[in-house]
Amino acid sequence: MSKVLVTGGAGFIGSNTVDLLLEKGYSVVVVDDLSTGRSANLNRKAVFHKADIRSPELDSLFKREKPEYVIHLAAQIDVRKSVADPAYDAGINVLGSINLLECCRRNGVKKIVYASSGGAVYGEPQYNPVDEKHRIKPICPYGASKYAAEKYVEVYAASYGIEYCILRYGNVYGPRQDPLGEAGVVAVFTGLLKHGKRPVIFGDGGQTRDFCYVGDVALANLLGLERAGVSRVYNIGSGVETSVNEVTAKLIEAVGADVEPLHSDPVPGEVRRICLDARLAGMELAWKPTVNLKSGLKKTVEWVGNA
């Protein structure tokens, strides 16, 4: 039974990924400092270590657990926080990732799956949908830190022979996304609408995103792990542009709320329009999105209602 260490495994994407790995017969170790992850998300069949990826103690944890594979999901993910405090963002996303890669190098990890951001590393797209050959030009510190860590993953592969799969996600949503957090428009708006509160749309709401259901993203993580012999970057998204206004209207309908959203100033560092071309992942990982936005929003609303 192969052992996989998942950083951020008590978080939104991480816990869904852990559940799928266990379902497929993997032995799973979760590393999470619970700063944004939740103990309620933890699968009891996984071994859990409360630890920060920046900690010097991470190496001894690797020595004890001896994982063969790593899925690296722990990160600072808030664009606004990255703009307000770029050093904090880089400390986690760059230095934390390097610390993790050093642990992989020292302890014989075969492969790392790294979660990057298709919504942030490309910057304002020159064309949509964006493919992996599109130029990289992040416009916020978060995008810069995620891309910097990508390059470190590639360097460690070249220098130390660690295989990798870099997945550039679209805007991931679904069950277990924090409805009280600052990032994740679907969960945040659902939480507000459930309590009869008016969601606040930053800007005019015409900005578009590529919304991808968390179950599909967890599957991409698994397929990226299992694809042997190829180290590559893949976009993971639906290929469909959906505006924040459209998503808000669909959520209001799904919740059955009778409110009008408010509007506020746009967020600095956020792109105006983007969607991702994920055909390469389809060809090489046999991955494709299976949950459409309407179904995914329904599942998310049900989960928030029961949480």
Element (H, E) at 31: strand 27-32
Decide: 297 and 251 in contact? Cβ < 8 Å. yes
Tokens of 112: 């790392």
Q: Give the residue among 206, 217, 214, 216 at the shortest CA–CA distance from 270.
A: 206
Contacts for 75 with CB less than 8 Å, ≥ 6 apart:
8, 92, 93, 115, 146
Q: Are 139 and 269 in contact (CB under 8 A)?
A: yes
Catalytic residues: 142
Q: Are 296 and 242 in contact (CB under 8 A)?
A: no
What is the C-alpha R_g of the chain?
18
